[in-house]
């Protein structure tokens, strides 16, 4: 448990969820520890790891006594770890850094300065640098945000012109009053939260890279299994009226179409023809104009005549 609860608060709490990431956790933690000052804190939460994560945390504690709060809990999934971090953290703002990523040098100082200049912001969308298995690097700079909340949500959920990466964004704890991370999701748990923040709170961008995001080869079987598990549940979670106000419900149908087309693409790539066509038909049934989504239509035609 966090023994420091009740002591003066912080500006920023950095939370690192750790589940079987013993090989990279030390790198992630060190990238934060070197930047901590009196206005920030680091919390590492081990979600019941079965590898050497506890030993790594012990080594870090011996090397950096008093520099971070370590918590071990029973495995409950990423959403449960993020929610625990919200409860344990003393910061007004929170950063969730994945255990296989790194905080970019100078990120905390840049965040502090940005918040000082924009005290009303409740979401800071920062830049990031993606690092691929072949060593290729790609820098992402956040685009200018649309002025209307409904356009921000559309850009994120449907057009996908607005990308938000954990580790490269900062959220004020006030935003979780509309809803925590859905604990019944084992993945994509951040989509409903990002949507609710974009819909109802002041948001700003910071062009500086805040995190190094390490990309991995996707496990197709994992994507298929999870696609079936989550399926249409994500739609209901995102558009729950507690999360999104009535003015955002106009985006529900376009998001349903986008969701079905995404599932169609996932299953078609795996050669799961019957399941892929089920989702493509659902997309067309929801809105026949989905046929004009040419990248998907071309894929459907090629898939049909294979």
**Which domains are assigned to the chain?**
10-214 (3.90.550.10), 220-304 (no CATH)
CA 14-18-22 angle, to 5 degrees, is: 120
User: What secondary structure letter does DSSP report for 263?
Assistant: H
Count of C-beta atoms within a 10 Å radius of residue 87: 12
Task: Write out the H or E segment, with its range, that includes residue 254.
Answer: helix 252-269
Q: What is the dihedral of CA 147, 148, 149, 152, to 10 degrees?
A: -60
Radius of gyration of the chain measured on its C-alpha atoms:
20
In degrees and rounded to multiples of 5, residue 56 shows phi and psi of -65, -45
What distance in Å separates the CA atoms of residue 198 and residue 151, rounded to the nearest whole number?
Answer: 9
pLDDT at 69: 98
The candidate with the shortest Cα–Cα distance to 127, out of 206, 14, 203, is: 206
- DSSP classification of residue 147: S
* Strand positions, DSSP E, 141-233: 169-172, 203-214
CB 57 within 8 A of CB 70: yes
pLDDT per residue rounded down to tens, the chain (306 residues): 344 444 457 899 999 999 999 999 999 999 999 999 999 999 999 999 999 999 999 999 999 999 999 999 999 999 999 999 999 999 999 999 999 999 999 999 999 999 999 999 999 999 999 999 888 999 999 999 999 999 999 999 999 999 999 999 999 999 999 999 999 887 789 999 999 999 999 999 999 999 999 987 654 445 556 656 666 788 999 999 999 999 999 999 999 999 899 888 888 888 888 888 888 999 999 999 999 988 888 888 877 666
Q: Which residues lie closer than 8 Å to 30 by C-beta, 6 or more apart?
A: 60
| Nearest in space to 179 (alpha carbons), one of 99, 238, 261 | 238
Going by their DSSP bridges, the two strands 10-18 and 91-96 should be labelled as parallel
Counting every residue written for the chain, the total comes to 306
Question: Is 156 within 8 Å of 198 (Cβ atoms)?
Answer: yes
Distance CA 283, CA 289 (A): 9
User: Whole-angstrom Cα distance, residue 93 to residue 104?
Assistant: 18
User: Which of 287, 295, 285 has the alpha carbon at shortest distance from 277?
Assistant: 285
How many whole angstroms separate alpha carbon 197 and alpha carbon 114?
Answer: 18
Q: Are 174 and 219 in contact (CB under 8 A)?
A: no
């Amino acid at each position: 448990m966090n023994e420091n609860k009740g002591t003066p608060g912080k500006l920023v709490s950095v939370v690192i969820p750790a589940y079987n990431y013993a090989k990279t956790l030390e790198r992630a933690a060190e990238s934060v520890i070197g930047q901590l000052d009196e206005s920030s804190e680091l919390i590492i939460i081990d979600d019941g790891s079965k590898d050497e994560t506890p030993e790594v945390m012990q080594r870090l504690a011996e090397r950096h006594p008093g520099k971070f709060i370590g918590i071990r809990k029973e495995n409950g999934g990423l959403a449960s770890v993020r929610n625990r971090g919200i409860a344990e953290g003393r910061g007004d703002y929170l950063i969730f850094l994945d255990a296989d990523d790194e905080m970019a040098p100078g990120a905390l100082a840049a965040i502090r300065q940005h918040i000082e200049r924009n005290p009303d912001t409740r979401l800071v969308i920062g830049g990031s640098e993606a690092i691929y298995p072949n060593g290729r690097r790609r820098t992402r700079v956040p685009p200018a945000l649309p002025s209307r909340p409904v356009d921000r949500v559309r850009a994120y959920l449907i057009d996908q012109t607005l990308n938000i990466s954990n580790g490269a964004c900062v959220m004020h704890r006030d935003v979780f009053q509309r809803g925590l991370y859905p604990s019944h999701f084992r993945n994509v748990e951040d989509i409903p939260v990002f949507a609710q923040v974009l819909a109802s709170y002041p948001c700003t961008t910071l062009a500086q890279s805040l995190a190094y995001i390490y990309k991995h080869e996707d496990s197709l079987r994992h994507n298929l299994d999870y696609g079936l598990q989550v399926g249409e549940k994500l739609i209901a979670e995102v558009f729950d009226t507690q999360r999104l106000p009535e003015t955002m419900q106009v985006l529900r149908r376009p998001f349903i179409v986008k969701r079905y087309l995404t599932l169609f693409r996932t299953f078609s790539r795996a050669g799961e023809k019957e399941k892929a066509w089920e989702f493509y038909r659902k997309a067309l049934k929801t809105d026949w104009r989905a046929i004009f989504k040419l990248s998907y239509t071309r894929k459907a035609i090629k898939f049909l005549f294979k």
